[in-house]
Amino acid sequence: MPTEQEQIKAAKSDSRAFEPLYNKYYENIIKFVYKRVEDIDNCREITAIVFSKALNNIKKHNDLGFPFSSWLYRIAINEITQFYRDKTKMRIISLSEKGIKNMAEESGEHQAELISVLKKALMYLDEDELNLIELRYFEERPFAEVGQILGITENNAKVKTYRVIDKLKEIYKKIS
């Protein structure tokens, strides 16, 4: 079975060779998009655009030591952002119990306290801050990959994430 790097290389010269990459990552990307859109038709449309753009731009993909999925998540985030540029659409924040537990453990907060105000507090964050929180805690991506997806360094991803956690704590104090 070819490695992921070999599959990418093959897809750069023959678009039919993209199929194994599509099959490998489709489910993860559609779930990622659905958590942020929660409308199956829009979710499918955005996911189709993600893979279409990936296929059309595969020659531009550079292997920086991260999974191919990092590149797909970056495209997905851009497409979701584009979807929400229409101000009449309300951004969806989908919270999983596991993600809240991850956040509570890393931030030192009690899980029960986080659950009670987290949805409300997250509404005060901007798109970049939400992406940091979602990728780190709800998608469980390492800081290096979060940085790669968002186009920042690993260290910057850590610093920004912890600043967002501090911001959430301040918001929590104001709204509780």
Question: Looking at domain 4-83, does it have CATH number 1.10.287.110?
Answer: no
Cα(8)–Cα(32) distance, rounded to whole angstroms?
22
The candidate with the shortest Cα–Cα distance to 132, out of 103, 97, 158, 161, is 161
Residues in the chain: 176
Name the residue ranges covered by the structural domains of the chain: 4-83, 97-175
pLDDT at position 50? 97
Tell me the pLDDT of the chain (176 aa) as tens digits: 888 889 999 999 999 999 999 999 999 999 999 988 878 999 999 999 999 999 999 999 888 888 899 999 999 999 998 888 765 555 666 666 667 666 767 666 665 666 666 767 777 888 889 889 888 888 888 999 999 999 999 999 999 999 998 888 888 777 76
Pull the structure tokens for residue 45. Answer: 């449309």
Measure Cα distances from 56 to 15, 52, 151, 159, 170 in Å.
Answer: 9, 6, 20, 34, 43
pLDDT of residue 139: 83
Q: Which residue has the tokens 């805690």?
A: 137
pLDDT reported for residue 25: 95
User: Max alpha carbon distance in the chain (Å)?
Assistant: 56
Could you tell me the fold of the domain covering 97-175? Arc Repressor Mutant, subunit A (1.10.10)
Name every residue whose Cβ is closer than 8 Å to that of residue 143 and which is 6 or more positions away in sequence: 136, 154, 157, 158, 161
- Measure the CA–CA gap between 135 and 160, rounded to whole angstroms: 13
Per-residue confidence (pLDDT) for residue 37, from 0 to 100: 85
